[in-house]
Each structure stands twice: as C-alpha cells, then as structure tokens.
Amino acid sequence: MEFLNFQKGEPTSLAQQIFLAVIILLLIALISFLHYSTPTNKWQFHIIYMQSYFIPILIGALQFGVKGGLGSAIVISLIYFPHIMLQWGGINENNLLRFIQIVLFNVIGYFTGLKAEREAEEKRRFQEVALQLQQSFRKIQEQATKLAELEEQLRITDRLAIVGELSASLAHEVRNPLGAIQGAVEILRDEVPKDPNTEKFFDILLQETRRLSDVVENYLGLARKDKHVLSKFDVREVLQTSMVLFEKSAQKAGIDMEMDLPDFPVILYGDAIQLQQIMLNLLLNAREAMPHGGKIEIRCRLVSGAPAETKPTHQDESDTSNASVPSPENIREWVCISVQDSGVGIPPENLHRIFDPFFTTKARGTGLGLAIVKRIVEKNGWRISVDSQPGEGTRFDLYIPRTKKQGES
C-alpha cells in the first residue's frame, strides 16, 4: 500500500507513516497530560498548552491531508472537552473561549489538510507535465537522430547517383587506356634487359595500374545494375575457382589458404558469377586485414536456418525485375559459406558501418568492396553476418537459401 506525503507530493513508506502517526499521538498525549495535571489557577500555562495542540494538527494535515488534520483535531476535541467540563466548570461564559478553540481546532485541521492535498495534487500534475515534456523531448531527439541518418543516406544516394552518371565514361575513358598501359608495360618489361632496379620500377607500375583498374571496376560494380544469369551450379566449383584466382596473390602476401568443402555436390539455382564476385571481395578484404601474412579459411556447410541475430536483407527496390528472393515457406535449408581470416579484426564501433558505401579505415581503400557484397546479397535475398574480435580476426558468414525446387544431384 502506498501513502503520500502531502507536503512534498511524494509517496512515503508504511514505516514512515507509522512513525509520523506515533509522533502525532505522543504530542497529543503529552499536551493533554499537561492540561490535566496542571492546576487551573495557572491559567497562563493552560493557554500555552491549548495553543500547542495546533502542532500535531498541522503535522497531521501536512503529512496526511484532510484525514490527518481533521482526525487529529477530533481526537484533541474528544480529549480536551472533558477537561473543560470537569476542571473548568463546564458550560459558562468563562469557558466560551475554550469551546471556540475546539471549533478552531477542527476548522484549521480541515482547511489546512485540504490545502495540503490540493498543493500535492498540483505538484503531481506539474510532475506529470514535466514527465510528458521529458518524453516529448526524448522523442524529438530520436526523430532528430533519424533525420540525421536519413540525411546521411541521401548524401550517399547523391554520391551513388554521381557515380552512376560517370560510370559510362569511366568504362571507356579510364578502363580501356589502363588496360593498354598495363599491356604495354608487360611487353616493355619482357623486352628490356633484366635488371633488378628496372624490374622493381616495372612491378610498381604494374601494381599501381592494376590498383587503378580495381578502383574503376569497384565504382562500376556498385553503380551498374547487373542482370541475373540464372542457372544450376555447384557451390563447390565456384569456391574452388575463387580460390584458384586468389591463391597466387595470397602466396605473395604470405597468406596460407585452407578450404573445407562437403564431399557431395551442393547444387543451387542462381547467379554463380555474383557469388564469385562476393567471394573475391571477401577474400580481398581478408588479405588487406593481414598486412604481415596469416591464414584464410573457407568453409561450406548446410544448416537448417540462418542465425537469429542475422536480420533478413530486403530486395533491392530499384531492380525488382531480376531479383529472385525466395519466400520463407519455400526455404528448405541454407548453404553457409564462411570466410575466416586471422587479421587485425574490426573495432566494435565500426562493425555497423562496414557495409556502407565509401566507408573505409584503410589509407588507400575506396570503401566499395563490402558495399558491393551487400548490394548483391540484398538483391538475391541472401543473408550475411560478420563476427570480429580486434587482434584475433574476422569471419563473414554468407547464407544462401535452398528452396524446395533445388536439390542435390
């Protein structure tokens, strides 16, 4: 049961209420004892005792409201009235002031308690308004945060729109000349007499040319709308091909490759090229996370469902004609492809941003590799999750649903 302190407008405990009630009763008893034990010829003391009765009345009114103030006044009236009748001679003109005092006890007890209750009610009302204002302010802050996020998304959309407009000219004006430069450099390197210093400069030139080509390809890959080439394919073959394409680069970087695949065909119906594009981007990301070498593990397994913490991605609204998102009732099981590295890991504060376009912590990165991965995953209705510990490495898990129409052959 909850009690209210009418003076402060706040709930008080049962123990506090009992303590205050006992104090009030003790004051009434003490003053009454002084009245009955003091001779009537010491009328000056009786006047002081009579006024002292207002102390417990006011305490009761402020602490308990009308019930406390009026209740204390009634108890005092019942105790004080016999004292007037027995020791002061009863009803006569000399005792008129004392009877008026009894009336004042009850009037003051009632109105003081009433005022305390109203003030407490007003205070509660103000507190409720303050709470509502606080909640409204919190909602405004949340809306402001959402608006800031939407504004950031609009900025990214604008930047992607610019990338899309430039992609056509980049394809012809940048990519083709870079390919010609790379081919010419390779020819010159073969024709020039072998020299360590010359070889070093040729390697740097080829490396930087390839890097520029990769940047152009990343921009084009993010901006263009690829058409699905749907067919049945064995996931194991795509993973083995990706490893072959990446293995030589990994060896140069001092990275060991390990692959664990099922000993039976894992057949899917979809776009094998897009799966390979995802794998190459994840492998490149793993290589960049291990500047001093390390180990990359690729695993493939069948699972009954994607993890609960992995939220389903949504279909790309800008390309609904080519998307093949399976409905949940048709999902038979999931193919889980894991890419685990032993690199530097991702700080927790960056985990939620790694798939954002243009977000990168690398000095020479573009921030588009994982954004392309996310775009492909969303377009196909797949799922992807990431688990990373700084200093211990990162694991990406790609989940591809197998529908009832798909099977092993």
Residues 284 and 185 in one domain: no
Last residue of a domain, one of 177, 199, 220: 220
Contact call for residues 81 and 102 (beta carbons, < 8 A): yes
Sign of the dihedral defined by the CA atoms of residues 119, 120, 125, 128, in that order: positive
Residue 90 to residue 66: CA distance in whole angstroms? 30
Long-range contacts at 17-20 (CB < 8 A, ≥ 24 apart): 17/63, 17/64, 20/59, 20/63, 20/64
398, β-bridge pairs: 337, 384
Residue 87 within any structural domain of the chain: yes
Q: Answer whether residue 98 is part of any domain.
A: yes
Same domain, yes or no, for 180 and 238? no
Is there a single domain that holds both residue 208 and residue 233? Answer: no
| Dist. CA 82–CA 90, nearest whole Å | 9
User: Over the stretch 79-88, which tens digit does the pLDDT of each residue have?
Assistant: 988 888 888 8
- Inside any domain, residue 34: yes
> Is residue 296 domain-shared with residue 233, that is, in the same domain?
yes
Six-digit token string for 262: 């099922």
The total number of structural domains in the chain stands at: 3
Q: What kind and span of H or E run contains 297?
A: strand 294-303
Domain span at 94: 3-136
Residues in the chain, pLDDT under 50: 1-3, 309-323, 408-409
Tell me, yes or no, whether 254 and 385 share the same domain.
Answer: yes
Residue 148 domain flag: no
CATH classification at residue 370: 3.30.565.10
- Cross-strand bridge partners of residue 96: none
Give the start-end residues of each E strand in 316-392.
Answer: 331-341, 383-389
**pLDDT, tens digit, for every residue of 21-59?**
899 999 999 999 998 888 888 888 988 988 899 999 999
Say yes or no: 128 and 237 in one domain: no
Q: Give the number of other Cβ atoms within 10 Å of residue 350's Cβ.
A: 14
For the beta carbon of residue 247, count every other beta carbon within 10 angstroms.
14
Q: Do 213 and 244 sit in the same domain of this protein?
A: no
Q: Is residue 143 part of a domain?
A: no
Structure confidence at residue 244 (pLDDT): 86
Coil vs helix vs strand at 261: coil
Residue 312 sits in the same domain as residue 384: yes
Give dist(CA 360, CA 316) in Å, integer.
23
The answer to whether residue 155 sits within a structural domain is: no
Q: In this predicted structure, what is the pLDDT of residue 236? A: 93
Q: Are residues 209 and 240 in the same domain?
A: no
Phi, psi (5° rounding) for residue 330?
-95, -5
Indicate whether 151 belongs to any domain: no
User: Does 207 lie in the same domain as 187?
Assistant: yes
Rounded Cα distance, 106 and 73, in Å:
5
156 occurs within a structural domain: no
The predicted-structure confidence for 338-379, as pLDDT tens digits, reads as follows: 999 998 888 888 888 888 877 776 656 666 778 888 888 888
Residue 370 vs residues 133, 284, 294, 321: alpha-carbon distances, Å: 42, 10, 21, 24
Instruction: Tell me, rounded to whole angstroms, the distance of Cα 109 from its chain centroid.
Output: 54
What pLDDT does residue 5 have?
A: 54
Q: Is the pTM of this model over 0.75?
A: no
pLDDT at 88: 82
273 and 318 assigned to the same domain: yes
On whether both 262 and 341 belong to a single domain, the answer is yes
* Domain final residue, candidates 190, 220, 250: 220
